[in-house]
Amino acid sequence: MCEINVMEAVRDIRFLHSEALLAVAQNRWLHIYDNQGIELHCIRRCDRVTRLEFLPFHFLLATSSETGFLTYLDVSVGKIVAALNARAGRLDVMTQNPYNAVIHLGHSNGTVSLWSPAMKEPLAKILCHRGGVRAVAVDSTGTYMATSGLDHQLKIFDLRGTFQPLSARTLPQGAGHLAFSQRGLLAAGMGDVVNIWAGQGKASPPSLEKPYLTHRLAGHVHGLQFCPFEDVLGVGHSVGITSMLVPGAAEPNFDGLESNPYRSRKQRQEWEVKALLEKVPAELICLDPRALAEVDVISLEQAKKERIERLGYDPESKAPFQPKPKLKGRSSTASLVKRKRKVMDEEHRDKVRQSLEQQPQKQEKAAKPTGARPSALDRFVR
């Protein structure tokens, strides 16, 4: 479609929300081009950029720089949302978690830090290797993370709150590039060799015992990327680029309303307008996106308590029973007191009955130790 010479080194490149715009991390500043090669913007606040990542649901372009800053740029309004200092030196390793839009940064001290634009400190830090981290990749479900380091170790971590290594393998050269496919296959570039490991399915981690495929190239690997909805792995190396067939790597069925590879120009325009209207704010990026739909019980109880103190009474409490007046002299004071006491006795009787029903269950739980297996003699225990 176009070919231009930017007259300086290009370190990384990313498409934005559509194929008509792309961001290029050049030697000095960050530049935005269209698909005809016309320069649209030059962002001088993002200088010495080494890696780029685009968050499609938030319209955020994340950049990491030589100076150790992680910068979030909102491409819909052209505003820098956050500039975070990682305090870990030069940032060369970066990837995103497509499940919760958290940025993973690999550092030279062997740790991987997780970042959100809403926090100035990392959400979590994971000690992965005894040497520097060379590559990080996260699968499409956001469950597993693969890392490789200078200690020639390839590890797979569980990101579901535990951050514990599930499996590890020592490689002869060490992997400098990692990539997950849509179906959970893991590709690793080691020198001039590409290894691919497969698991039991999309929801299971890849098994590192035996490679699924192995391919030797004509030069050293410089980059890996799986083609979406195609069983093809693109490998860039020192001699050129190689398209490698990987059966079972891509998702065969796509949602036309979510990502349609065959959409027309009119469909792309309508999708772009809809995506801008449904843009997720950057403040909602967190480790567990399901926590946004939960009820804050502590704040709810505190608000209720403050309301009671302000009004002097509990408006939600049950009103006391007031007997209705009756005719023919049946609404005397003694009759009203008797009816009130009868209702109070019934409520007290219901509370006692509920407590007696719950008492045997509590005794059974206290008698049986947790984790004990049931026995045939339990029927004789009273």
Q: What is the pLDDT of residue 158?
A: 92
pLDDT digits (tens, 9 = 90+) for 5-19: 999 999 999 999 988
φ, ψ for residue 89 (rounded to 5)? 80, -155
**Using an 8 Å Cβ cutoff, are 226 and 245 in contact?**
no
The C-alpha angle with vertex 22 and arms to 252 and 225, in degrees rounded to 5, equals 40
Identify the band that residue 246 occupies on the pLDDT scale cut at 50, 70 and 90. Answer: very high
d(CA 257, CA 273): 13
Q: What is the pLDDT of residue 301?
A: 85
pLDDT at 104 over 90: yes
**Using an 8 Å Cβ cutoff, are 53 and 79 in contact?**
no
Q: What is the pLDDT of residue 375?
A: 74
**Using an 8 Å Cβ cutoff, are 88 and 105 in contact?**
yes
**Using an 8 Å Cβ cutoff, are 63 and 70 in contact?**
yes
- Whole-model pTM: value is 0.76
Q: What is the pLDDT of residue 56?
A: 93
d(CA 61, CA 282): 11
Identify the band that residue 328 occupies on the pLDDT scale cut at 50, 70 and 90. Answer: low
| Residue partners of 2: CB distance under 8 A and separation at least 6 | 35, 36, 37
Sign of the CA dihedral running 237, 242, 248, 251: positive
Average pLDDT (100-108) is 94
Q: For tokens 């929801």, what's the residue? A: 203
Average pLDDT, the chain: 88
Identify the band that residue 98 occupies on the pLDDT scale cut at 50, 70 and 90. Answer: very high
Lowest mean pLDDT among 119-123, 181-185, 281-285, 303-307: 303-307
d(CA 106, CA 88): 9
- Looking at per-residue pLDDT, the higher value among 373 and 60 belongs to 60
- Looking at per-residue pLDDT, the higher value among 330 and 270 belongs to 270
DSSP state string for 172-219:
SS--SEEEE-TTS-EEEEETTEEEEE--SSTTSPPP-SS-SEEEE-SS
Q: What is the pLDDT of residue 363?
A: 76
pLDDT at 351 over 70: yes
- Looking at per-residue pLDDT, the higher value among 201 and 42 belongs to 42
φ, ψ for residue 311 (rounded to 5)? -85, -25
pLDDT at 323 over 90: no
Q: What is the pLDDT of residue 329?
A: 67
**Helix, strand, coil: what percent of the chain each, to 5?**
20, 35, 45
d(CA 227, CA 241): 14
Identify the band that residue 227 occupies on the pLDDT scale cut at 50, 70 and 90. Answer: very high
Identify the band that residue 370 occupies on the pLDDT scale cut at 50, 70 and 90. Answer: low
| Residue partners of 159: CB distance under 8 A and separation at least 6 | 97, 138, 142, 143, 144, 145
